[in-house]
Amino acid sequence: MRVVLGVAGGIAAYKAASLCRLFTEGGHDVRVLPTAAALRFVGAPTWEALSGHPVATDVFTDVPSVQHVRVGKEAELVVVAPATADLLARMAAGMADDLLTTTLVTATCPVVVAPAMHTEMWQHPATQANVATLRSRGVHVIEPASGRLTGSDTGPGRLPDPEVIHAEALAQVGAAAAGSGELPWAGRRVVVSAGGTREALDPVRFLGNASSGRMGMAVARAARDLGAEVTVLQAAVEVPAPEGVRVVETPSAADLEAAVGREFHEAGADLLVMAAAVADYRPAQVATTKIKKQDDGAGLTLELERTPDVLAGAVRRRDAEAAQHPQERRQVVVGFAAETGDEHGSVLDHARAKLARKGVDLLVANEVGVGVVFGQEDTTVHLLTPDGPVRTVGPVSKDEAARAVCEAVTPLLG
Residue type for 26, please? Answer: G
Mention every residue, 6+ apart, whose C-beta is less than 8 A from residue 405. 219, 222, 273, 334, 362, 364, 381, 383
Residue 54 assigned ligand-binding role: no
Residue 73 assigned ligand-binding role: no
Residue 412 three-state SS: helix
Q: Evaluate whether 358 touches 311 at the Cβ level (below 8 Å).
A: yes
Residue 354 assigned ligand-binding role: yes
Residue 358 assigned ligand-binding role: yes
Residue 311 assigned ligand-binding role: yes
CA distances from 56 to 62, 104, 283 (A): 9, 15, 63
Residue 309 assigned ligand-binding role: yes
Q: Could you check whether the bond before residue 82 is cis, i.e. omega within 30 degrees of 0?
A: yes
List % helix, strand, coil for the chain (3-state, nearest 5).
40, 25, 40
Options 35, 84, 101, 209, the catalytic residue: 209
209 tagged catalytic = yes
User: Residue 236 and residue 375: Cα distance in Å, rounded?
Assistant: 12
3-state SS track over 254-312: HHHHHHHHHHHHHCCCCEEEECCECCCEEECCCCCCCCCCCCCCCCCCCCEEECCCHHH
User: Residue 179 and residue 154: Cα distance in Å, rounded?
Assistant: 39
Strand partners, 194: 234
Residue 202 assigned ligand-binding role: no
Residues counted in the chain: 414
Give the Cβ contact number of residue 343 at 10 Å. 4
Residue 398 assigned ligand-binding role: no
Residue 41 assigned ligand-binding role: no
User: Residue 222 and residue 273: Cα distance in Å, rounded?
Assistant: 12
Annotated binding site for CTP: 280, 290, 308-311, 336, 354, 358
* Catalytic residue positions, numbered: 209
Annotated binding site: 280, 290, 308-311, 336, 354, 358
